[in-house]
Amino acid sequence: MSANGTFSSSLTGDKMWSTLITYIFGALYVLSSFVGLVANSLVVYLILRTPTLKRTTNYLLMSIALVDLGFLGLVVPFTVLANLVWRHWVFGSFLCSTISYVQVAIIIQRSLLLCASAILQHRVFRHPFKRRVSTKTVGVLIPVVWMFALSMAAPSGVFAGFGRSNPELNATTFLCVEHWPEPAYQMAYTGSLLVITYVFPVLVLFITKIDIAIIMFSRSPPIISHERSLQKRMEKRKKVSASFVR
């Protein structure tokens, strides 16, 4: 009797801890989503309403903010409800495929736009007197990135569906998982996503930021070097003019 009482009390304690952790993570999800919605909405609003902020780099940042808003509005609610509240997928096969597809596409698009923004910022520091990238070019770049992201994310939507990730789960508990015809295909696709969304962006950000830091702490940054070259040209022209006067 005592053993049964101890066992039941331990189960009750585990259930209380599980419920408490669920509430904590749920509150963190809600708080982070709210902050993300407000912050990204402010970014979009300020860029659209402030004429001085309508630049090529800021348009990329606005596109990233819009992507974040889509992620927070479309992906996060289903993920929180499925993983924290019900602990299984209850939204049907169509939404399983759709949410998986949208989630991967948003992650790819956001990663590539961050790379593009970092490259443009680096170009301003490294070549400050070269012609800036036009808004027309950025207007073409963003749809191209979207097309690539949507096409690259297609396998996630095609192979996503109902499945049990743990054989010990009962027959009525299903999760939204991917079912690939061959494990090798899944490994190749996962590896390509890892390169596109993590390895490549990290390398681009690391190289560009390090070079920007080198430029800023250099004794002769590009701006000063350009001013010195202009000054030498002016002095040379003055000498030439003076020789003609003589």
State the Cα–Cα distance between residues 153 and 145, nearest whole angstrom.
Answer: 12
CA distance 142 to 139: 6
CA–CA distance from 232 to each of 28, 128, 166, 179, 241 (Å)? 60, 19, 74, 68, 14
CB 84 within 8 A of CB 22: yes
Asked whether the beta carbons of 88 and 82 are under 8 A apart, the reply is yes
Counting the structural domains of the chain, the total is: 1
Q: Six-digit token pair at 26? A: 């749920």
Q: What is the pLDDT of residue 135?
A: 81
Give the domain CATH number at 82: 1.20.1070.10
Please give the residue range of the domain that contains residue 228: 2-245
Q: Over the chain (246 residues), what is each successive 10-residue block's mean pLDDT?
A: 49 62 76 88 90 83 89 85 76 86 92 91 79 83 93 91 60 75 91 94 94 77 52 54 48
SS (H, E, C) 16-72: HHHHHHHHHHHHHHHHHHHHHHHHHHHHHHHHHHCHHHCCHHHHHHHHHHHHHHHHH
Q: What is the reported pTM?
A: 0.76
